[in-house]
Amino acid sequence: MIVYPCLLLVLLLIPAATLLTPQRATPPFTFLALDHVVLRVRDAQKMLNFYVGVLGAEPIAVGRFDGALSHLRLGSSMLDLHAYDSPAGRAMHGGGAGLPEGAPLPPRSAEAGTLDHFAVRVEAFDPDELRSYLLSKGHPVISEGERFGALGTGFSMYLRDPENNTVELKGPASRPTL
């Protein structure tokens, strides 16, 4: 390996980014783990063939809600494949917030992104306290209810981050199956 002392000196003189670390919040919950990620897909069968047939994901439920949703286990987490072309696809957008009538379908390409939402498992989950906390921070809940996740069905709340990504806060499972 060739080391160029002049290049190292130049790199040391470049100012660091001016990002500031905010004071860490004390929300009414504790993060446990990533529960699941939901991808928007154009061709659900091709995606199933890849994740199950190539990578070895374990199919938990395939084609729920008239083919709109398939759940695949990846270790202790889950990957959901969300097909918008099925009859229920639009209603399930953003964790159930749904797409307004006549709204265009969200992007489903690598360039535009395919993430519908991601879910983080949390504990000390009091829906009223959490709803109030999020609203006080300027991030109202956009959808909530019993939803299936990596450990089973339990109560979830959805909100949007500052760049409009949908984040699901997933409480403990009240029942282990669909």
| 115-125 pLDDT per residue, tens | 888 999 998 88
What stretches of the chain adopt beta strand conformation (E)?
30-41, 58-63, 69-74, 77-83, 115-123, 143-149, 152-160, 166-175
Cβ(157)–Cβ(130) below 8 Å: yes
Domain residue spans of the chain: 27-175
Q: Over pLDDT 70: what percentage of the chain? A: 83
Residue written as tokens 């403990």? 172
pLDDT in tens, 87-103: 777 777 766 667 777 77
pLDDT of residue 9: 46
- Asked if residue 18 has pLDDT above 70, the reply is yes
- Asked if residue 84 has pLDDT above 50, the reply is yes
Residue 98, phi then psi, degrees to nearest 5: 80, 160
Residues with Cβ < 8 Å from 162, sequence gap 6 or more? Answer: none
Going by the DSSP 8-state scheme, the letter that residue 21 receives in this structure is: P
CATH number of this structure's domain 27-175: 3.10.180.10
DSSP bridge partners of 173: 154
